[in-house]
Every structure is written in C-alpha cells, then in structure tokens.
Amino acid sequence: AQTVTQSQPEMSVQEAETVTLSCTYDTSESDYYLFWYKQPPSRQMILVIRQEAYKQQNATENRFSVNFQKAAKSFSLKISDSQLGDAAMYFCAYRSGARLAGNTPLVFGKGTRLSVIA
Amino acid sequence: DSGVTQTPKHLITATGQRVTLRCSPRSGDLSVYWYQQSLDQGLQFLIQYYNGEERAKGNILERFSAQQFPDLHSELNLSSLELGDSALYFCASSAYPSTGELFFGEGSRLTVL
C-alpha cells in the first residue's frame, strides 16, 4: 500500500518570506498523481496544486510551486511571498493510477500546520 | 463552492446512538468517497462507491456502513456510536475520467457525548 509522510508537524514563516513544506511517499507504481491540499480554520479542503507523475516539469500555481523528485519520491511545496491567508494545515496526498483517475481514493499524509507571522 | 453538498453540517448525539450523514456529489460525478478526520489528524479513507457499487474499502469500522443510491447521492451510517467516533466526516467526489483531484464537501462535524 502507498504511504505519504510529512515529517514537519508544524512550520512558521514571516509574512512575505518563502517557506518549503516537505513530503515523501512510498509506491511501486509509475503512474500516479500527487497533490497538496490546504485546510484553513474553516476546515474546508482546498486543492492547492496537482502534479502528474509522468510530467517532468514541476507544477506552478501563482505563489505555489512544487519540487517533484520522482526517483527520490519527494514532493515538496514552496510558498513564495507568504501571506496571512496562507496560514492553514497543508496535506500532501497521493493517488494511484493516473490513467484510472476517478477510480481510486487519495492517500493523505498527516499534515503540516503552517503559521504565518506578521 | 466545490459543488459537493453534505448534510448535516453539525450533529451532536449520545453514545450508543445511530446517525446518517448524507452527501450529494458534483453534478455528473460517479465516484463518492468518505473520509474521517479526527481532531488534528489527517484524513483517513473509509469507503468509495462508483456508480452505485462499492469500489474500495479503507479503515471503516464494522459499525459503519455506506451506500450510493441510483441518483448518485450517498449516505454514511454510523451506529453504536462511541466517544471516539467524534470527528469531521468528509465526502468527496470525482469524475471519470478526471484531472485527478477529489472535490470535497464542507464536512459533517459529529460530536458524540
């Protein structure tokens, strides 16, 4: 079974600075998706960014980018120009079988709580 | 708004009772997933349905059951409730084929006293 590990339970960053959240995963598959979800105090699960394993280019969404190292099974999230609204719990997630997308559940890490200091 | 609707948003009940949580997926989505999030914990996968059939099962207790109806809405039934069942229960849906992500509802907060 696939596992996702987030080794940083808590992180903090100064407003306007950059922070990187770590995630590693274990799989024997070659075809999969990786995600970062954000959970603010409202508890809503919000998709931050998505990466298909077959794509070598790292995904970017505005101030959010990933460093996807497939061989190392590492998938870190970089938040640039941090804002107070970025304060939340961040979950890394894995989904197997990109070609079967829509038919498998997400496997989540335990999360990293990010605080943003004004 | 993700398009996934969950009811009720909050529910308080006593130990030993039974509750039903309801989920309506996004229009056209055939897959429904249920997750449990205990206090300050990650999301634990419970069960998945695809077009009315059970597709995958995770860490779901025998006291819990679910089903997906012909109109694609889903219900999660929790019985013989214990204090430890207090949690946020999320429903999510996805299309097939899809861009991969799940779309989550706002969750149902269950408190067992």
- The tens digit of pLDDT for each residue in A56-115 reads 899 999 999 999 999 999 999 999 999 999 999 999 999 987 556 557 889 999 999 999
| Bridge-based pairing state of the strands B10-13 and B108-112 | parallel
- What integer is the mean pLDDT of B40-67? 92
With CA atoms as reference, report the closest residue to A116 among A63, A60, A46: A63
CB-based contacts of B28, cutoff 8 Å, min separation 6: B95
Is the confidence at residue A2, as pLDDT, over 90? no
Q: Is A43 left (phi over 0), alpha (psi -120 to 50) or beta?
A: left
Rounded Cα gap, residues B16 and A117, in angstroms? 44
Rounded Cα gap, residues A67 and B5, in angstroms? 33
Q: What is the pLDDT of residue B97?
A: 67
Rounded Cα gap, residues B19 and B13, in angstroms? 8
CB A74 within 8 A of CB A20: no
- What integer is the mean pLDDT of A15-42? 94
Planar angle of CA A23, A98, B49, nearest 5 degrees: 100
Q: What is the pLDDT of residue B40?
A: 67
What digits encode the pLDDT tens for the residues B2-45? 899 999 999 999 999 999 999 999 998 999 999 999 986 789 99
Burial of B103 (0-12, 13-18, 19+ CB in 10 A): buried
Q: How many CA within 13 A on the CB side of residue B83? A: 1
Task: Name residues 82-101 of chain B within 8 A of A (Cβ).
Answer: 88, 90, 92, 94-101
Which of B102, B109, B110, B111 to substitute to test the interface with A, most A CBs within 10 Å? Answer: B102
Helix (H, G, I), strand (E, B) or coil at B90: strand
CB contact A11 to B (< 8 Å): no
Is the confidence at residue A53, as pLDDT, over 60? yes
Q: What is the pLDDT of residue A118?
A: 95
